[in-house]
Chain A
């Protein structure tokens, strides 16, 4: 039943590369995942056989491209439990959140209304809201507590009748924490607030059903789930899409244009000004098929087992401190850690020489680093093609770090 990562690696040409003469161990999947041949081939096939602009041409090729684009939309939205007309294609989760900020919050909320975000967020779920503050919208954050969970107590305290939108990440890109999204959504809805969930770190790694979660908006990126860069989605409930103002103006998003005024196309086109990333949508749809074949519950189980092993191995290393919840049931395959006396960037440089690619830095979540009291962490993040041998490579490369930095200790 478990995933055969070694077999799956054969589907990913890039994983055959070697770096510094070593087997490539890619452990930066929270940043972006590698692409299987089927996705790469599909992109190339689109440009070889189907390239045409969509929703316009009356010729067969244009109809084929439009059909591919809309079928991709239906396939991807079904993957997260939504209807086709509820999925807006965007560049990625960042653009999805910005769309909610401008087309919903700025356009529909009133001065003094509050947006409640959290201290756990990626900058993309903080900065778009800060940009609305000069327009009179208020911003508040739910505190981190314990080993890196959001404080339910603080959430209940901060949510007020002025809170019109609650926005939080489904899974942390630094701490690995998986938030109880449906529980949070219920509290928000009981308060009359809308709910935006940042799914960039969850859709690729676990079964997600936006209806079960109770999300009004759900943002995700294609490139973190085997798909191409530059394509992602914003799921939004139909009534909200009706209510929302257009995001950008241009072609595709209009019904009629006059020099004095224009009217808008129906959603989702209303939010897709300009020529969309058709090839990207087709590639992401192929990635979704690939993940569906693997079965998302098995993907989650696989990562849970890997995380448990990695946590156990890392914690047994001298001088290593692991951040985030200890229970693999409550966390995804993202593990941040530090090695005493070694800056994460130096650590990453040494691991690179051993063929092991990890991330170091604040991971675009400086408030989380501040909460941890560090300027940066090292981060290993897993996906379907990683297995125990990759974690063993990481651990053995940490031995090299000690050899270089620990010799005077």
Chain B
């Protein structure tokens, strides 16, 4: 049995961190993973260019929900730029996995890709 359903993932799936909404957020963005039917909404409140609070809401498979949960912990206190630079390697590291199949990597990346999209949109709207 691979360690895909190891402790960290199951823990975050069953007891997610920062699950819920942020009232009047700076960033609110939803996306879906058509493969699994995973749905995620990412919320962020910013202080300047730093993510002060990050939350997520949604439903989906253990991989997508655990990675969104882990992301909210990781992204808090990070700069917009650093979050935008997070990649597959970072997400796998958060999950404690060495690799995932091409199909399941989409589940793992859903939360981070969605948040990144939201931050890019936020930046493009804001005069520098």
User: Which residues of chain A have a CB within 8 Å of any CB of chain B?
Assistant: 343-346, 349-350, 353, 360-362, 369, 375-376, 404-405, 408
Q: Which chain B residues in 23-50 approach chain A with CB under 8 Å?
A: 35-39
Say yes or no for B107: interface residue by CB 8 A criterion. Answer: yes
Contacting pair A343 B10 (CB below 8 A): no
- Can you pick out 18 interface pairs between chain A and chain B where the beta carbons lie within 8 Å of each other? A343-B36, A344-B36, A344-B61, A345-B36, A345-B104, A346-B61, A346-B63, A349-B5, A353-B1, A353-B2, A361-B37, A375-B36, A375-B38, A375-B59, A375-B60, A404-B5, A405-B10, A408-B10
Given contacts A343-B61, A346-B62, A346-B63, contact A361 B36 (CB under 8 A): yes
User: What 9 additional pairs, Cβ within 8 angstroms, besides A361-B35, A361-B37?
Assistant: A343-B60, A344-B36, A345-B36, A345-B61, A345-B63, A349-B4, A375-B37, A375-B38, A408-B14
The 7 nearest A-B residue pairs measured at CB: A375-B37, A343-B61, A345-B61, A376-B37, A345-B36, A346-B62, A404-B5
Q: How many A-B residue pairs have CB under 8 A?
A: 42
How far is A349 from B104 in the complex, measured between Cα atoms in Å? 10
How far is A135 from B60 in the complex, measured between Cα atoms in Å? 37
A337 to chain B, nearest CB (A): 16
Contacting pair A346 B5 (CB below 8 A): yes
A174 to chain B, nearest CB (A): 13
**B interface, by DSSP: helix, strand, loop or mixed?**
mixed
Q: Which chain B residues in 1-17 approach chain A with CB under 8 Å?
A: 1-2, 4-5, 10, 14
Contacting pair B36 A376 (CB below 8 A): yes
How far is A375 from B64 in the complex, measured between Cα atoms in Å? 14
Contacting pair A345 B39 (CB below 8 A): no
A357 to chain B, nearest CB (A): 14
How far is A361 from B2 in the complex, measured between Cα atoms in Å? 22
B4: chain A residues within 8 A (beta carbon): 349
Partner of A350, one of B5, B35, B59: B5
List the B residue with the shortest CB-CB distance to A404: B5
Partner of A369, one of B14, B37, B107: B37
List the B residue with the shortest CB-CB distance to A374: B37
A133 to chain B, nearest CB (A): 22
Most buried by A among B1, B14, B35, B37: B37
A409 to chain B, nearest CB (A): 9
B51 to chain A, nearest CB (A): 27
Contacting pair B62 A343 (CB below 8 A): yes
A31 to chain B, nearest CB (A): 14
Most buried by A among B2, B35, B61, B104: B61
How far is A369 from B10 in the complex, measured between Cα atoms in Å? 25
B33 to chain A, nearest CB (A): 9
Contacting pair A345 B14 (CB below 8 A): no
B63: chain A residues within 8 A (beta carbon): 345-346
Most buried by B among A349, A360, A404, A408: A349
A375: chain B residues within 8 A (beta carbon): 36-39, 59-60
Most buried by A among B5, B35, B39, B104: B5
How far is A349 from B103 in the complex, measured between Cα atoms in Å? 11
B37 to chain A, nearest CB (A): 3
Contacting pair A362 B10 (CB below 8 A): no
B109 to chain A, nearest CB (A): 15
A379 to chain B, nearest CB (A): 13
List the A residue with the shortest CB-CB distance to B11: A408
Most buried by B among A346, A405, A408: A346
B59: chain A residues within 8 A (beta carbon): 375
B106 to chain A, nearest CB (A): 11
A124 to chain B, nearest CB (A): 16
B36: chain A residues within 8 A (beta carbon): 343-345, 360-361, 375-376
How far is A404 from B13 in the complex, measured between Cα atoms in Å? 12
List the A residue with the shortest CB-CB distance to B6: A404
B14 to chain A, nearest CB (A): 6
